Amino acid sequence: MAERIALKIDSEYDWIEDRPNYDDIVATFGEIKAEASDSDYQGDSLYLIEKDGKYGIVTFGWGSCSGCDALQAANSQQDINDLQDDLESGIKWFDYDEEALDYLVQGGFKESFLRTSLVLEFANKVKAVLA
């Protein structure tokens, strides 16, 4: 299990100070090596992380408001913990960097909801990092 992000909650007003972002959460799973995200008000993100000599690919969707984005909807430590658990459980781990690259090159996301151009952008970033 990943290290937990401890929230600072203003007890008088009951709101989160210094809300973490997705990079902060993903960094608890391992060192971020590459990242690609849509550049719109909603979309998807892909990360390559490394931990203990293994490589993982993290994917998730996000939105522009608390109705369509789990991080923006988080209002408590438990919400953040649940989001971390959900993202961590979805990591696809590989024993070697070549396996992660092969997964991308051979169409690992072919039948996913992800845009092809985003996957190709991510694959190119991963190739550059692992080359």
> What are the pLDDT digits (tens) for 62-116?
998 888 889 888 888 888 899 999 999 999 999 998 899 999 888 888 888 898 8
Name the nearest CA neighbour of 60 among 21, 19, 100.
Answer: 21
pTM reported for the whole predicted model: 0.88
Q: In this predicted structure, what is the pLDDT of residue 112?
A: 85
Query: How many domains does the chain fold into?
Result: 1
Q: In this predicted structure, what is the pLDDT of residue 11?
A: 57
* Residue 88 domain-assigned (yes or no): yes
* Residue 60 domain-assigned (yes or no): yes
Residue 39 is part of which domain span? 8-130
Q: In this predicted structure, what is the pLDDT of residue 126?
A: 95
- DSSP helix/strand/coil, 55: strand
Q: pLDDT confidence of 37, banded at 50, 70, 90?
A: very high
CA atoms within 13 A on the CB side of 21: 3
**CB-CB contact of 35 with 46 (8 Å):** yes
Q: In this predicted structure, what is the pLDDT of residue 8?
A: 67
* Residue 2 domain-assigned (yes or no): no
* Residue 28 domain-assigned (yes or no): yes
